Amino acid sequence: MSAVAWIAVNAFRESVRDKVLYNLVVFAILLMGASYLIGQLTAGQDVKIIKDLGLAATSIFGLFIAIFIGIGLVSKEVERRSIYGLLAKPIHRYQLVLGKYAGLVLTLAVNLAVMTAALAVVLAVMSWLEDPVVRTGWEAPAVDPRMLKAVWLTFVELSIVTAIALFFSTFSTPMLSAAFTFGLFLAGRFSTDLRNFNQVVDSPAAAAIAQGLYWILPNLAPFDVRSQVVHAQPVPFGYLALTTAYAVIYIAALLVVSLLIFSRRDFK
Amino acid sequence: MSKPFAQALATIVIAGILVGSAAALQAVRETRYPSPPPGEDSLYITSGAAVRRMSAGYNALAADLYWIRTIQYYGSVKLRLKQVRELTAAEASRGLSDYQLLYPMLDLTTSLDPRFNIAYRFGSIFLAETYPGGAGRPDLAIALLEKGVRERPDKWEYMQDIGFVHYWWTHDYKAAADWFHRASEVPGAPWFLRSLAAVTLAEGGDRRSSRILWLSIRQSAEIEWLRNEADRRLKQLDAYDEIEALQKIVDDFIAREGKPVSDWQTLIRAGVLRGIPADPLREVPLEIDAGGRVRLSPRSPLFPLPDEPKRLITPGA
């Protein structure tokens, strides 16, 4: 096993030891409880709302994992002084950073896979219990393979957030890293506003800066196709491919800068 | 029993006793110092754009929350008003004030999730419906549906619903016919919309067209509730038919016998009726007043009957 894979597996094991997977239990209880309660409250929109809730919860739970585990990937090793032991081993610093990143992405993938499976089970049960006549009126079937597209883009988006958290983790404190990462996440969700900034300001310089930020900051809004899949709207594979490619390049950029900072960092 | 297990059990029991005691104390406090009744419902944010920002991209989930709140709001207001048997003039004139948050809530819901189909269709019925069954605001119903049409120009159902609001509530038959015609041109729209447009334009409203409309709404309803509402409306049309038929029997009897009729027993004894007629749900007997006018009982679930759309021309004219 390569050093990166070895570190990744250990990072995954560490997250399991940190009880990160407990959130899956919370998620399952949330969905099962909501599926019963919502049926009483929504005038026939329960399947749509459970889909919305399940997909949003998948994203929110993943976001918390990405931020709060991501910010500790490197800084925790420094705080605990275990970084000295790690760096004394025959591994390069870049392998450490890449391995940590891959480990957290693996944790996220496992989480998302289990949450998606739980959501599918709840939806299948709801569909099974529903009157067939009512089912014919649904925009999309309860268990709809198109939902995987939304889950995939959520995973890719969270991979970017993890890379951002890791980036800040290489040079800042956990608290500040969390604040910066969450701030960038929000900015990324609303980056379209930056593109249209020239419509609300007169200053060409301010508009140019906003335009620049629009292209530099991560654009996370395109990763949200949850509403489209719930309403059975088409999400072309070309769109998925382009959005994923954007994420891969952006993650690569963040990791390169993180590696550079971490490789120059003095731990004496 | 092992010591750790006994300790855990004791801890759980103590915690249970403490929580139970807290609940008991709360019950005592609520008995001695009753909680104030729930305050007026309010909507702190009415801007869809602001809520979109605040939901940090989780717009569909926010729309669901507003939708649930809309259902609760409408249900609670309607329930409260249902308890008022006889509305005073002041209450009746209040109109929208009792449903004043219905449109803002539906507007927020559809701003957050512009494809929230049922919110448009739900809104159109309950905004348009006369007070106290609804807000009595067909203009807002049309505004909401037009928002839906802007978002989904392929939804003939919204256009049909706009035509329906014009037909049933504002009695603007030209506008209704225009919207039925527009709906009929959308691919996939049912065949009868074209003829409905022509009939509405030529003759205005009649019971047959009303029946077709409600049957169409029943068929295109995505939820049980809308289907039930359409069923109720169809039964109301049956009630009109039944009352008209009975009225003719009563009028004929009065003309033949030359004496007034103010109860069903007179007609039953004369062999004109076999029993006391009931509403189409067969739940509550129909009433006959001192003047011999047949009417639906206020106790009937179909009460009150809505004003029927009027014909522009009379048959045979």
pTM: 0.74
pLDDT of B179 strictly over 80: yes
Note whether B222 contacts A137, CB cutoff 8 Å. Answer: yes
pLDDT at A1: 59
Alpha helix (H) ranges present in chain B? 3-32, 48-54, 59-82, 89-94, 102-112, 117-128, 138-151, 156-165, 173-184, 192-203, 207-220, 224-257, 264-269
pLDDT of B83 strictly over 90: no
- B contacts of A225 (beta carbons < 8 Å): none
Cis peptide before B132 (omega within 30 of 0): yes
pLDDT at B100: 83
Please give the helix or strand (H or E) that residue B288 lies within, else none. strand B287-288
Cis peptide before B304 (omega within 30 of 0): yes
Q: Which amino acid, A35?
A: S
Note whether A227 contacts B113, CB cutoff 8 Å. Answer: yes
Residue bearing tokens 């007609």? B267
In this complex, the residue of B57, B60, B225 whose CB is nearest that of residue A43 is: B225
| pLDDT, average across residues B251-280 | 87
pLDDT at B37: 63
Please give the ipTM for the structure prediction: 0.74
- The 10 Å CB-count burial string (b at 16+, else e) for A39-67 is bebbbbbbbbbbbbbbbbbbbebbbebbb
Note whether A44 contacts B58, CB cutoff 8 Å. Answer: no
Q: CA angle, B59 as apex, A159 and B228 as ends, to 5°?
A: 130
Note whether A231 contacts B115, CB cutoff 8 Å. Answer: yes
In this complex, the residue of B56, B60, B72 whose CB is nearest that of residue A186 is: B56
Predicted confidence band of residue A125 (pLDDT cuts 50, 70, 90):
confident
Could you tell me what percent of chain B has a pLDDT over 90? 17
Note whether B223 contacts A137, CB cutoff 8 Å. Answer: yes
pLDDT at B91: 54
- The 10 Å CB-count burial string (b at 16+, else e) for A130-163 is beeeeeebbebebbbebbebbbbbbbbbbbbbbb
Note whether B225 contacts A227, CB cutoff 8 Å. Answer: no
Predicted confidence band of residue B97 (pLDDT cuts 50, 70, 90):
low
Predicted confidence band of residue A183 (pLDDT cuts 50, 70, 90):
very high
| B67 touching chain A per CB within 8 A | yes
Residue bearing the bigger pLDDT, A169 or B90:
A169
Task: Count the alpha carbons within 13 Å of A99 in the hemisphere toward its beta carbon.
Answer: 20
pLDDT at B40: 60
pLDDT at B84: 61
Which residues neighbour B166 within 8 Å (Cβ) at sequence distance 6 or greater? B138, B142, B172, B173, B175, B176, B179
In this complex, the residue of B57, B68, B118 whose CB is nearest that of residue A189 is: B57
Predicted confidence band of residue B316 (pLDDT cuts 50, 70, 90):
very low
Question: CA nearest A233 in B: which residue?
Answer: B115
Structure tokens belonging to residue A181: 């990462």
Q: What is the pLDDT of residues A29-75, one digit of tens each?
A: 787 677 777 766 666 678 888 888 889 988 988 898 888 888 887 77
Structural domain boundaries in chain A: 3-264
In this complex, the residue of A44, A220, A233 whose CB is nearest that of residue B222 is: A44
Q: Which amino acid, B228?
A: N
Q: What is the pLDDT of residues A140-151, one digit of tens each?
A: 888 889 999 999
A65 vs A78: CA distance, rounded Å: 20
Note whether A139 contacts B118, CB cutoff 8 Å. Answer: no
A125 vs A140: CA distance, rounded Å: 15
Average pLDDT, chain B: 82
Predicted confidence band of residue A268 (pLDDT cuts 50, 70, 90):
low
Residue of B52, B59, B68, B228 to mutate, testing the A interface (most A Cβ within 10 Å of its Cβ): B68
Q: What is the pLDDT of residues B117-161, one digit of tens each?
A: 889 988 888 898 887 778 889 999 999 999 999 999 999 999 999
- Residues B267 and B249: beta-carbon distance below 8 Å: yes
3-state secondary structure of A2: coil
pLDDT at B317: 40
Residue A172 has φ and ψ, to the nearest 5°, of -125, 175
Residue A47 has φ and ψ, to the nearest 5°, of -65, -45
- B contacts of A44 (beta carbons < 8 Å): 118, 222-225
In this complex, the residue of A134, A139, A224 whose CB is nearest that of residue B57 is: A224
pLDDT at A153: 95
Residue of B51, B53, B58, B120 to mutate, testing the A interface (most A Cβ within 10 Å of its Cβ): B58
Structural domain boundaries in chain B: 48-230, 245-317
Of B67, B158, B157, nearest to B112 by C-alpha is B67
- Residues B103 and B124: beta-carbon distance below 8 Å: no
pLDDT at A78: 78
**DSSP type of residue B47:** -
Note whether A43 contacts B122, CB cutoff 8 Å. Answer: yes
- Give the sign of the dihedral formed by CA A87, CA A90, CA A91, CA A92: positive
| B14 touching chain A per CB within 8 A | no
Q: How far is A259 from chain B (nearest CA, A)?
A: 30
pLDDT at B95: 47
Taking the mean position of all CA atoms in its chain, how far away is CA A63? 5
- Which residue numbers of A have CB closer than 8 Å to B's CBs? 38, 41-45, 48-49, 52-53, 56, 59-60, 134, 137-139, 186, 189-190, 220-221, 224, 226-227, 230-231, 233
Residue of B52, B61, B117 to mutate, testing the A interface (most A Cβ within 10 Å of its Cβ): B61
Predicted confidence band of residue B170 (pLDDT cuts 50, 70, 90):
confident
Note whether B60 contacts A230, CB cutoff 8 Å. Answer: yes
**DSSP type of residue B185:** T
Of B97, B148, B152, nearest to B120 by C-alpha is B148
- Residues B264 and B288: beta-carbon distance below 8 Å: yes
pLDDT of B87 strictly over 60: no
A86 vs B202: CA distance, rounded Å: 87
- A contacts of B59 (beta carbons < 8 Å): 227
- A contacts of B115 (beta carbons < 8 Å): 227, 231, 233
| B68 touching chain A per CB within 8 A | yes
B283 vs B286: CA distance, rounded Å: 10
3-state secondary structure of B311: strand
- Residues A27 and A205: beta-carbon distance below 8 Å: no
pLDDT at A12: 87
| B157 touching chain A per CB within 8 A | no
Task: Count the alpha carbons within 13 Å of B70 in the hemisphere toward its beta carbon.
Answer: 26
**DSSP type of residue B278:** B
CATH topology of domain B48-230: 1.25.40
Question: CA nearest A38 in B: which residue?
Answer: B68
Between chain A and chain B, the number of residue pairs with CB atoms below 8 A apart is: 60
Note whether A53 contacts B115, CB cutoff 8 Å. Answer: no
